[in-house]
Amino acid sequence: MRGPAPTLSVIVVTRDRPRLVADALASVARQRLAPLEVRIAVEGEPLPAGAADGLLEVVVVECAAGQPGRARNAAAAGARGEALAFLDDDDLWRPGHLAALAGALADPAVAFVYDDCEVALERVGEDGARTVLARRVIARAWDLEVMRRDDYVPPSTWGVRRALFERLGGFDAAFRYSEDWDFLLRAARESAPRRVPGVGVEVRLRESGNASADFGAERRACLARLAARHGLETPAPKTFWEVAGALGAEVSAAPDGGGVR
């Protein structure tokens, strides 16, 4: 039995990336289904002027830097939407993303949904211009065994009922990294996430600086903590680009040899 689509609060976290967050928020403004509100956790520099133009209701929350889980929790506190949709400042939503999530959440038995994503590998020039080098698509139904090995559901694809988020206490702020993977595994114990087919999100990764070889000791310690909590073999650190490859996603060249954003 389907009910009305829930209202949505958008949760954005940004830290010292004015061009990226402006692009991310512009992708929210282009949604065919407007959110009830956009709540932005700002770590570091203030939100650039004009970044939220085109959005009807915006709440800005200033947060200490370096704790993305805590920042998301701070932005979600006081949210009025019946469900939460998360967006990282370096990702983009396609125009039908929120409508697809809300449609799936119209089923009252569903508490967590996600759609497919395209991972774009980019090179960033000295002038800030971004050239897309290649793309991979992650399009996979929920599979707990795979998720226990590889986190293949980026938070920018999520739609989560606020009641579930609050019942779980939000993100565990003790995790500086992998807090999204931890939340997803905890949420899955209560309600198996449901995939909404179709690419609704572009996850943007830099050619350098996002490689798993660059992951430091603290990130690896968070993975070890994740494994201990959920009874996993300690996962190898991977980017979403690498996860897409591990899942067998084909590499597609960017149109015309690479699109500059």
pLDDT value for 231:
96
Would you say 25 and 38 are in contact if contact means Cβ atoms under 8 Å apart? yes
pLDDT value for 260:
34
First to last CA, the chain: 43
User: Mutual orientation of helices 179-188 and 68-76 as an angle, nearest 10°?
Assistant: 60
pLDDT value for 215:
64
pLDDT value for 254:
63
C-alpha torsion angle, residues 130, 131, 134, 137 (rounded to 10): 40
| Regions of the chain with pLDDT less than 70 | 1, 208-215, 254-261
Would you say 75 and 12 are in contact if contact means Cβ atoms under 8 Å apart? yes
Residues 179-221 pLDDT 10s: 999 999 999 999 999 999 999 999 999 886 544 555 688 889 9
- Write down the domain spans for the chain: 8-257
pLDDT value for 1:
61
pLDDT value for 218:
87
CATH architecture of 8-257: Alpha-Beta Complex (3.90)
Sign of CA dihedral 48, 52, 53, 57: negative
CA–CA dist 243, 241 (Å, integer): 5
Q: The pTM is what? A: 0.92
CA–CA dist 155, 72 (Å, integer): 11
Nearest Cα to 41, choosing from 87, 94, 90, 100?
Answer: 87
**Which residue matches tokens 């991972």?**
119
- Give the number of other CB atoms < 10 A from CB of residue 27: 18
pLDDT value for 37:
97
Would you say 65 and 39 are in contact if contact means Cβ atoms under 8 Å apart? no
Q: Which helix (H) or strand (E) holds 253?
A: strand 252-253
